[in-house]
């Protein structure tokens, strides 16, 4: 998605060889018009999958997910993050380890909002090692929901989350794939290769 890549080039901050900050339009300040375009792009990529629901993770996944939900005409559920869940009745939940923060969080969705009749599009802001998405996939399995595919705003192509998910046969659509952050520069994967 060309406009997203330009935005990343112009406004993204390369903090280290593995950390890209996009607080200016995605993770702290949000550009609603960019989010609408992202939502429409996800819709065009998953239009024929019979999606009944979008699931994302608070907080940065919410804006792109809601715009995709508006465009696809389906509800959006955001999974909640917490340090630990003492009561897990009436919840689907999963442990998610963050390599960046070196801590585990639990994520959860109420059993009221996911069922075996749902065909779910998962959306998240970043895909790195895939732990958060794998946690969401685990909750869908608990609910018996079908997985239509995964929509990612920015994939770190130099980490293995994308490969893990695609090797399971899951359709992963990342709107920008960053292959390197070496020397303070963002290098994108070739557009053609990214849609394979």
Closer Cβ to a copy of itself, 89 or 196, answer by number? 89
Please say which residue, 66 or 154, places its beta carbon nearer to a copy of itself: 66
Burial class of residue 30 (count of CB atoms within 10 Å of its CB; 0-12, 13-18, 19+) = middle
| Binding-site sequence positions | 20, 27, 128-132, 156
Bind-site residues for xanthine: 20, 27, 156
Smallest distance from the beta carbon of 117 to a copy of itself, in angstroms?
A: 15
Q: Which of 165, 164, 35, 146 is nearest to 43 (CA)?
A: 35
Number of neighbours of residue 94 by Cβ within 10 angstroms: 21
How far is 107 from 91, CA to CA, in rounded Å? 10
Minimum Å gap between C-beta 139 and a copy of itself is 13
Rounded to the nearest angstrom, the gap between the alpha carbon of residue 22 and the centroid of all alpha carbons in its chain is: 15
Cα–Cα distance, 32 to 42 (Å, whole number): 15
The least CB distance from residue 44 to a copy of itself, in Å, is 17
The residue (of 136 and 177) whose beta carbon lies closer to a copy of itself is 136
- What backbone torsions phi and psi does residue 18 show, to the nearest 5 degrees? -125, -5
What distance lies between CA 112 and its chain's CA centroid?
A: 22
Give the separation between CA 130 and CA 126, rounded to whole angstroms: 9
As measured in angstroms, the least distance from the Cβ of 54 to a copy of itself is: 9
Residue placing its CB nearer to a copy of itself in the complex, 111 or 171: 111
Half-sphere exposure of 170 (CA within 13 A, CB side): 24
Q: For residue 151, list its beta bridge partners.
A: 123, 173
For a copy of itself, the closer CB: 35 or 177: 35
Footprint on this chain of a copy of itself (rule: CB under 8 A): 23-25, 28-33, 35-36, 58-59, 62-63, 66-67, 69-70, 73-78, 80, 109-110, 112-113
CB of 60 to a copy of itself, least distance (A): 9
């Amino acid at each position: 998605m060309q406009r997203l890549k330009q935005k990343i080039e112009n406004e993204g901050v390369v903090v280290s060889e593995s950390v890209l900050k996009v607080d200016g339009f995605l993770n702290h300040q949000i550009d609603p018009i960019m989010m609408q375009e992202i939502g429409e792009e996800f819709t065009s990529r998953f239009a024929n999958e019979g999606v009944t629901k979008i699931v994302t993770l608070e907080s940065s996944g919410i804006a792109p997910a809601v715009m995709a939900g508006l465009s696809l005409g389906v509800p959006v559920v955001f999974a909640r993050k917490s340090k630990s869940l003492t009561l897990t009745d009436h919840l689907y939940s999963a442990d998610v380890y963050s390599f960046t923060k070196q801590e585990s969080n639990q994520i959860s969705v109420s059993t009221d909002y996911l069922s075996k009749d749902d065909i779910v599009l998962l959306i998240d802001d970043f895909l790195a090692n895939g732990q958060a998405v794998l946690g969401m996939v685990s909750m869908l399995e608990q609910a018996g929901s079908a997985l239509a595919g995964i929509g990612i705003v920015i994939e770190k192509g130099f980490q293995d989350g994308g490969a893990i998910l695609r090797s399971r046969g899951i359709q992963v659509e990342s709107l920008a794939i960053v292959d390197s952050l070496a020397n303070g520069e963002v290098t994108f994967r070739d557009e053609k290769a990214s849609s394979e």
